Structure 1
Amino acid sequence: MTWQPPVIDSKRTVAVLGAGVLGRRIACVWAAGGYNVAIRDPSADQRNAAIHFIDNNIAAFAKEFKNTNPRPGDYAAYEDLDSAVKNAWFVVEAVPEKLDLKISTFAELAQKAPKDCILGSNSSSYKSRLMVGKLDEQAKERVLNVHYTMPPVRVVELMTSTFTHPEIFPFLENKHREVGLLPGTARVESTGFIINRLWAAMKRETMMILAEGVTTPQEIDMLFVELFGARAGPCAAMDAVGLDTVAFIEDNYIKERHLDGKNTVDWLRENYVNKGLLGAKSGKGGLYPAGYTTKPSTDNPSQLDNLAAPTLYVLDIGVGENVTSNFLSSGTIYTASGNGENVRKLVDGLHFPDGIDISVPQGRIFWTNMGVPSENNGSIQSANLDGSDLRTIVPLGAVHTPKQLCIDHINKKIYFSDREGMRVHRTNFDGSQHEILVKTGDFDKPTDKDDQTKHASPQCVGIAVDPKHGRFYWTQKGASKAGQGRIFRANIEAPAGATPSTRSDIELLFQNLPEPIDLEIDPETELLYWTDRGEHPVGNSVNRGYVGSDSKAVGKFDILTRHLHEAIGIRLDKVNKHIYFVDMGGSLYRSDLDGHNKTVIYSGKAALTGLALAYIN
């Protein structure tokens, strides 16, 4: 029977099933190439993250793949399969590697996708022949394997299901070349296609070298990169992919070829996977320590680096050297990749923004606007992850001078400090149930406002929340260069009958600090990190102190790094074991958790204040 290619008009889409790390990159390639894309994933978190990933990376992908289309394609994400595939001319299945799931998925696709739609599986572990048992003969002819090497790598491989109509291959090869990819076709069924079979052999031999104690991961990669001119060695690549994924794929080869897994997958599971050491994504590292695959752009990272790096959100307060308009409304929110590239403006025209945080499940950014400190006209605003749908959730004057803002993701609450208002606040995501948690003075009382000793010290600036231990923390900056800074904490649940001014559960943790500003808590280690804007040698620094149950250690702290330029925003990357921080001098830094290896990953003419991280790569 002659095969008729699908008619591709303005309504037709490439549908990608699965919005994970690979799925969102496949979608971004096609959208950057000018094709409309529909993504399907049952998880709202994954759908939001995928759309935001494409927002942030579509221009970079278009440049990388040298696309010449006048405009990118449209893209959207759906929870249900029907909406995602109803107009599809090509479906790429990138769901988890479970054969039963893939069989049921293709059965649904045969019923719900257009009858001319090509149905592809991204699996390199299973032949597509194994997925079509519930399809009729006509539908089987439209099914094949289409395996993408992690974009922006250009390689994509096609493979028959034995039933696939042969005319589909040149058609799909041309379409993939059109969007900048380099297709290759396996002429017969082959577990692992072409490149993955070579890669599987390399992984297998690498694991055997390590299991036998011949050498270390670092030495293997060093020699490999030097000899073959690669940008990454096999050990770093396995960490980036995920050691659990490496083990799962090797299981299939072992089963099919009757291989001995003692010094390969069995060794890998016993020493790494079963201990939670899954590689870059695990927060515990793998063959390399955590954070190894997070590379700044100056290090010439490979395509497998930065897959587990956070996306960054930075506030420019609007008083930097690059401001040419009214500085009172020149505040801006920028987003950038974890290596400081792909910088993109999301929102501008803000009134002295200072604190920011992200909720990917809500699909929203939240930030504070300080307003004019003498006029009690601060506010809290929110927008979609792409900067659209701007809303004011705490109106002007309901907070005086809001500073740092953080989210309790477990209890779905926003916390923020109020400097001249001398308060700590909490609200729901929509601004409802606005509560004053702590009140250290009354800005309406002349005696409080004019008493500089009292007013300077109770300024509430930084805020951090630890729902695991039921506590929140805040800084009091004190007067400029006065050494009055303090850090406090209190319980999330206030004592019965207590008012914000009479709480009995407030603990003083640190005092006589130069000028503590923003802070963040690591609930697992009970280490508190904060920036300080005071004078050298103690100020303009990043600091860390223990705030756990060992009372002997409370009050002591270490200076991790110094010589900053009016340090403000700080966030912990708990996956890669890094600290990110910014200063008013316009620099964005990253260091190890102990302050070592401080790197400037972005520097400009802005004045940076707030900082937030989200894992959407």
Structure 2
Amino acid sequence: MPELSVEAIKGRPVAVLGGGVLGRRIACTWAAAGYTVHVRDPSEEQRNAAIHYVEQNIASYAKTISCSNPGKAIAFEDLEPAVKDAWTVIEAVPEKLQIKIETFADLAKMTREDCLLASNSSSYKSGEMLDKVDDVTKRRILNTHYMMPPDNRIVELMTDGFTDEAVFPFYVERLQECGMSPIVAHRESAGFVFNRIWAAIKRECLTVLSEGVSTPEELDRVWVEMFSGGKAGPCAMMDAVGLDTVVFIEQHYVKERGLPTKDTVDFLQHNYVDKGALGGKSGKGGLYPAGYTTKSTGEESGHHDNLHAPTLYYLDLGMNAKDDIMHAGKIVAQSASGKEPRTLVSNLTLPDGLDISVKDNRIYWTNMGVPSENDGSIQSCKLDGSDVKEIIKKGDVHTPKQLIVDQKNNKLYFCDREGLRVMRCNLDGSDQETLVQRGDWKVKEETQDSLRWCVGISVDNKHGYFYWTQKGASKAGKGRIFRAKLQLPSGETAANRSDIETVLTGLPEPIDLEIDEEAGKLFWTDRGDPPMGNTINSVDLSGLTHVEDASDNPKYNILARNMHEAIGLKLDKKNQHIYATDMGGFVYRFDIDGENKKRVVDAEDRSFSGITLAHV
């Protein structure tokens, strides 16, 4: 094996195979230390999410190690260009042994002879991955098992049984330069160092639960009190990692060491995994209810908390700006756990509706323009805020309000308030069509009639409907929610379609809408006066029919009250949370039933409208 030196790796990239939750954190760790990192993932959505994660977090990673000149991450779909000239390749591919064996066989052919090949497997030894590599290649293969940076900076290094001894001190020094805390196992060991101890703790915790000796809450409370300084306990950490992952890892130990399965693997499999309750990533909870491992500002969080917390994107209208209020709008990105907000786009003209497509690497938003003028527009940009494009130009939409991306069909739906219509187009703005026309905006009496104003929009692909709000005058109690079929009835127009149903009427002032198709519920914000307004509400979709007046309304639930002019709404279905904005400068988080209200953002000098989120 060629001699290892700092000079030999200078200017060469680090390659990370896999852009998932841990892969993107590994990539950010190396990029923050000044390296160019190549992230390879066959999924375009994962590639976009990984690069966006690095862009959002690299400054904070670099700050912790006082690096003033961080590097960057570049995404690749194909393996060979991603690993070309790399000085190290870190595989974080799915935990399937055969995939790892094939990966190392490919890397042996595609990388330079001095490139160090590392597996980040948490359960397999790299010595188990050598079936298709020659003896020379075996000397540059090792395990480098990262825990969960940036909060946990431990990295365990371990030989594959043949690794050149010179690799370890060299790799340890490079990791230390990245701010990591490497430890080296002195021989091959299934589970390395810490994971062997952690596996024993998990097994005994599961046995305690299986035997009914205690509950997850009690067990974790004792652990937190005794050992973890007020942070997460074993049950919460298992939920954060994923109970299916815990089962998978434990099965490997069972096979290698002949361990019993009744109170560990079988207990989790039958009671949780088979039911889809995988923990924080499933939307169905696990040992704890859904959303438990997503923490907000001020809450104690452990190393594995917030792995499944979304990044929030919200619109600052700019109405409290000191200068040029009409062009002071912003798109802001911020972790739901309360990390420092980052402005992505500035100088917007009263932005109102917002949504995101990670798959297409784009953010979409509406600009209301001057409400008395026909000068609204819809724009999009890349996830990092660059490449701003106008996809619906001024004059083609009057006063666009709320907007939603139909992720299934790659369509944008949006409401045009003073334009008195509901509209749809492709993600690039083409094939623009009017779905509902409530009047003629060129007729003054009609465009000033607030009962005709269309505001909020959502899509129910499962049942073939779109829903929208017509809010009426401010706090007038004349707001309505309508629905119509996604496909216009044959021979009809947007102005005379016969399938429009009023499903709720007499509401204070309904604004934004969201649909949870799986739960069969419609959610909305209401900006009107208390007690029915300034609320978040929900209603079952199954019982909705056309109503004539408020006395016919189906029973709906007021989930939360006492906001400050409630506007934007977005559901985090993975964590079973509701996020909402208001004109008072607050972003709130609620449980899906409206309980456990928390302020994620508190900025009384600002005014917020649309909100969306992405798990990146």
Q: CA deviation at 1:69?
A: 2.2
Tell me the equivalent position of 2:399. 401
Tell me the equivalent position of 2:286. 286
CA offset digits 1:577-604 (Å, max 9, x no partner):
1110000110000011221111111111
Amino acid at match of 1:26: I
- SS in structure 1 opposite 2:87? strand
Tell me the equivalent position of 2:386. 388
In structure 2, distance between residues paired with 1:475 and 1:223: 49
In structure 2, distance between residues paired with 1:246 and 1:335: 32
In structure 1, distance between residues paired with 2:274 and 2:554: 38
Q: CA deviation at 1:566?
A: 1.1
Tell me the equivalent position of 2:309. 309
CA offset digits 1:80-124 (Å, max 9, x no partner):
011110021011010011111111100111111122100000012
In structure 2, distance between residues paired with 1:577 and 1:356: 20
Moved more, 1-10 or 603-612: 1-10
- SS in structure 2 opposite 1:375? coil
Moved more, 339-348 or 371-380: 339-348
Alignment check: 8 A CA contact 1:244 1:278 kept: yes
Q: Which residue of the other structure, out of 507, 515, 519, is the alignment partner of 1:521?
A: 515
Tell me the equivalent position of 2:116. 118
Change (3 A) 1:2 1:443: closer
Amino acid at match of 1:526: G
In structure 1, distance between residues paired with 2:572 and 2:46: 19
Change (3 A) 1:43 1:417: same
Tell me the equivalent position of 1:109. 107
TM-score normalized by structure 1? 0.97
Alignment check: 8 A CA contact 1:509 1:547 kept: no
Tell me the equivalent position of 2:557. 558
Q: Which residue of the other structure, out of 418, 425, 431, is the alignment partner of 2:423?
A: 425
Q: CA deviation at 1:141?
A: 0.5
Amino acid at match of 2:51: I
In structure 2, distance between residues paired with 1:412 and 1:550: 27
Tell me the equivalent position of 1:346. 344
Tell me the equivalent position of 1:614. 614
Q: Which residue of the other structure, out of 128, 131, 147, is the alignment partner of 1:130?
A: 128
Moved more, 67-76 or 568-577: 67-76
Q: Which residue of the other structure, out of 327, 334, 337, is the alignment partner of 1:336?
A: 334
Amino acid at match of 2:331: I
Alignment check: 8 A CA contact 1:122 1:145 kept: yes
Alignment check: 8 A CA contact 1:475 1:485 kept: yes
CA offset digits 1:391-431 (Å, max 9, x no partner):
00000010000000001111110000010000000000000
Q: Which residue of the other structure, out of 94, 97, 101, is the alignment partner of 1:96?
A: 94
CA offset digits 1:271-327 (Å, max 9, x no partner):
11111111000000000010111111200211211111111000001112xx23311
Tell me the equivalent position of 2:455. 461
In structure 2, distance between residues paired with 1:534 and 1:136: 71
| Residue 588 in structure 1 maps to residue 587 in structure 2 | yes
| Residue 486 in structure 1 maps to residue 497 in structure 2 | no
- SS in structure 1 opposite 2:364? strand
- SS in structure 1 opposite 2:459? strand
Alignment check: 8 A CA contact 2:4 2:170 kept: no
Q: CA deviation at 1:556?
A: 2.3
Amino acid at match of 2:359: P
Q: Which residue of the other structure, out of 66, 74, 77, is the alignment partner of 2:75?
A: 77
In structure 2, distance between residues paired with 1:68 and 1:541: 45
Q: CA deviation at 1:7?
A: 4.1
- SS in structure 2 opposite 1:443? coil
RMSD over aligned CA atoms reads 1.4
Tell me the equivalent position of 1:599. 598
Q: CA deviation at 1:10?
A: 5.5
Aligned runs of 1:363-378 on 2, under 5 Å?
363-378=361-376
Alignment check: 8 A CA contact 2:505 2:553 kept: no
Q: CA deviation at 1:550?
A: 6.2
Alignment check: 8 A CA contact 2:2 2:114 kept: no
Q: CA deviation at 1:483?
A: 1.4
Q: CA deviation at 1:219?
A: 0.5
In structure 1, distance between residues paired with 2:527 and 2:421: 21
In structure 2, distance between residues paired with 1:365 and 1:56: 15
- SS in structure 2 opposite 1:373? coil
Amino acid at match of 1:188: R
Give structure 2 stretches of 5+ with no counterpart.
Answer: none
Moved more, 298-307 or 185-194: 298-307
Alignment check: 8 A CA contact 1:122 1:148 kept: yes
In structure 1, distance between residues paired with 2:10 and 2:608: 42
| Residue 86 in structure 1 maps to residue 87 in structure 2 | no
Change (3 A) 1:10 1:416: farther
In structure 1, distance between residues paired with 2:194 and 2:178: 21
Tell me the equivalent position of 2:177. 178
Alignment check: 8 A CA contact 1:461 1:477 kept: yes
In structure 1, distance between residues paired with 2:462 and 2:517: 7
In structure 1, distance between residues paired with 2:130 and 2:510: 62
Amino acid at match of 2:488: A
Tell me the equivalent position of 1:534. 528
Tell me the equivalent position of 2:50. 50
In structure 2, distance between residues paired with 1:143 and 1:481: 67
Q: CA deviation at 1:370?
A: 0.2
TM-score normalized by structure 2? 0.97
In structure 1, distance between residues paired with 2:69 and 2:571: 37
Q: CA deviation at 1:525?
A: 2.3
Tell me the equivalent position of 1:165. 164
Tell me the equivalent position of 1:193. 192
Moved more, 208-217 or 121-130: 121-130
- SS in structure 1 opposite 2:289? coil
CA offset digits 1:33-92 (Å, max 9, x no partner):
1111110000001000000111111122223xx212221112101000111100210110
Q: CA deviation at 1:486?
A: 0.5
- SS in structure 2 opposite 1:600? strand
Q: CA deviation at 1:253?
A: 0.6
Alignment check: 8 A CA contact 2:474 2:528 kept: yes
Report how many aligned residue pairs link the two structures.
Answer: 608
Tell me the equivalent position of 1:579. 578
In structure 1, distance between residues paired with 2:45 and 2:340: 22
- SS in structure 1 opposite 2:393? strand
In structure 2, distance between residues paired with 1:8 and 1:561: 60
Aligned runs of 1:437-516 on 2, under 5 Å?
437-449=435-447, 455-516=449-510
Q: CA deviation at 1:447?
A: 4.4
In structure 2, distance between residues paired with 1:304 and 1:232: 8
Alignment check: 8 A CA contact 2:480 2:510 kept: yes
- SS in structure 1 opposite 2:54? helix
In structure 2, distance between residues paired with 1:146 and 1:80: 23
Alignment check: 8 A CA contact 1:545 1:554 kept: no
CA offset digits 1:186-240 (Å, max 9, x no partner):
0100000000000000001011111111110110000000011341100000000
Alignment check: 8 A CA contact 1:142 1:165 kept: yes
Q: CA deviation at 1:342?
A: 2.9
Amino acid at match of 1:557: Y
Alignment check: 8 A CA contact 1:67 1:179 kept: yes
Q: CA deviation at 1:464?
A: 0.6
Alignment check: 8 A CA contact 2:569 2:581 kept: yes
Identity in percent? 56
Aligned runs of 1:189-268 on 2, under 5 Å?
189-230=188-229, 231-268=231-268
Alignment check: 8 A CA contact 1:6 1:89 kept: no
